[in-house]
Amino acid sequence: MRPEALDFSVRAELTEWMDEPCSRDELRACLRDIARVNRWLLAYRPVLGWLDSLAFENVAGPIRILDVGCGYGDVLRRIERWAELRGVAVELTGIDLNPDAVAIAAEASGQQSAIRWRRADVFGYAPEEPPHVVVSSLFTHHLVETDIVRFLQWMERQALTGWFIHDLSRNRNPYYLFCLLAKGMRLHPFVRHDGPVSIRRSFVPADWQRMCSAAGLAARDVIIRGYRPGKLCVMRSRMLES
């Protein structure tokens, strides 16, 4: 499609190949390359910086952190390292609807990791103890808006300290930047196809303002912030209430 024919003012109705049935080996190769892109584009910095900003002094026992739509598990493994470097006790759990993704995440983590991996649909998931923090990375653009509103409400009910959504920004510049990057890095065909599609399926700040309002969140309750390159994050801290 010619560049001038692309319309970034509206969310595109497109399908990502990784959302379709595929073999575990194919999914593993795809998720591994997404993790490569995350490392190259410093995608972990927003959530780690946000975790550093939270006040956990009054938390008794380990901090419970839940990753929804955990995929390859690289975000939780990076959080595990963040906790080790700071001497912070944590209980980390990753859930994903795809049982192959859960198996791949466990495999990639190795026996030395204490992260727990669970196959679960977030809307039917009831943790034994409520998490202090819920995070998600590159997850919400896979959902329709009504389910995103449900997800926001679910996190509001579950997260004791706060939640953090890390996703993409629907914008022309990151779209073409990713197309160049994917070609240069020789990424998996799924990633070369799905990356640009994901950007066109993602949101802009006005979308998040609308969905947060629909979920019953006041504008003062959330922070919507862009991060370079091409990220748009939505975060909620209970400290905002004080």
Residue 180 lies in a domain: yes
CATH number of domain containing 190: 3.40.50.150
Residue 12 lies in a domain: no
Residue 2 lies in a domain: no
Please tell me whether the peptide bond between 229 and the residue prior to it is cis, using omega within 30 degrees of 0: yes
Residue 133 φ/ψ, nearest 5 degrees: -135, 135
- pLDDT for res 92: 98
Interval 92-106 mean pLDDT: 98
Rounded CA-CA distance 212/240 in Å is: 15
- pLDDT for res 58: 80
- pLDDT tens readout for residues 14-65: 999 999 999 999 999 999 999 999 998 899 999 999 999 998 888 888 999 9
Residue 200 lies in a domain: yes
Rounded CA-CA distance 5/86 in Å is: 49
- pLDDT tens readout for residues 136-167: 999 999 999 999 999 999 999 999 999 999 99
Residue 59 lies in a domain: yes
Residue 194 lies in a domain: yes
Residue 129 lies in a domain: yes
Rounded CA-CA distance 8/130 in Å is: 38
Tally of domains within the chain: 1
Domain that holds residue 210: 23-241
Residue 13 lies in a domain: no
